[in-house]
Amino acid sequence: MSDPKTRNNVSVRGNLDSAQTIVFVHGFGTDQTAWRAVAEPFMRDFRIVLLDNVGAGHADPTAFVQHRYLNLTRYADDLIEVCQSLQLKNAIVVGHSAGAMIAVLAAKKAPDVFARLVLIGASPRYLNADGYFGGFEKADIDAVYASVALDFGAWAQSYGGTMIGRMASDQEHQTFVASIRALPSDRALTVLCSILQSDHRDAVKALKQPTLIVQTRLDLAVPQQVAEYLHANIANSELVVIDTEGHLPHITAAPAVISAMHPFLYNS
């Protein structure tokens, strides 16, 4: 196995003498730079660990072997290996979207490593089911796959605009679209399958750690009903709905995300 810190392009910043560490895990279409604005205010008091999921950013490109990353479990194992290589215990893990579910899976598997979680724009299942509203029917998800296969560039432009939302600046919009387009289309399709076909409701229900759920008032990828489901099914959780739109508030509304996180990180 390659060194996890090299494989995931790990950077350790902030207060290196702090007893408390925050690990940030990004979602689809971004890399660790997406956390720049949110991580900065916590640099003084916390050790900050940033990483690129395999297949994204500057992670080792040879590490992305398709059959290993057909679901989020391998990403969770990668996260655990990164934290163990840094000898972390009782860390706080902050995850966005797919990164949030990666954090949940890792925290369930290695509870000694992760003491608390912050989940931003998180969904354990995107597909609607009996008694559960995830926001998507099978035809919706099939249409995503077909669009990616037909014209990845056009799909990235459309998806990027929809996900970043109306609150984003032109620069934020363009940067996000460019980040998606930088992915090879076959890799993007594999990652999307690993996310959209997942069902991690059992993992969510098994979570024991204190958890903060951060949700925007309008997220076209994750309806508010999903955030309410998480809150109802994570025993020790709190839900904060921030007054903004879009699926990437850590990029487009960082001050609101920071305000939501601050009491959870400092008063717990």
Contact yes or no for 50/13 (Cβ under 8 A): yes
> Is 247 marked active-site?
yes
Give me the helices (H) in the chain, please. 4-7, 36-39, 73-85, 98-109, 138-150, 152-164, 170-181, 185-196, 201-206, 224-233, 249-252, 254-266
> Is 97 marked active-site?
yes
Catalytic residue among 26, 96, 247, 250: 247
Q: How far is CA 251 from the centre of its chain?
A: 12
Strand order in 211-218's β-sheet?
11-14, 47-50, 21-25, 91-96, 114-120, 211-218, 237-245
> Is 186 marked active-site?
no
Catalytic residue among 31, 52, 78, 219: 219
Catalytic residue among 97, 123, 179, 194: 97
**Annotated active-site positions, please?**
97, 219, 247
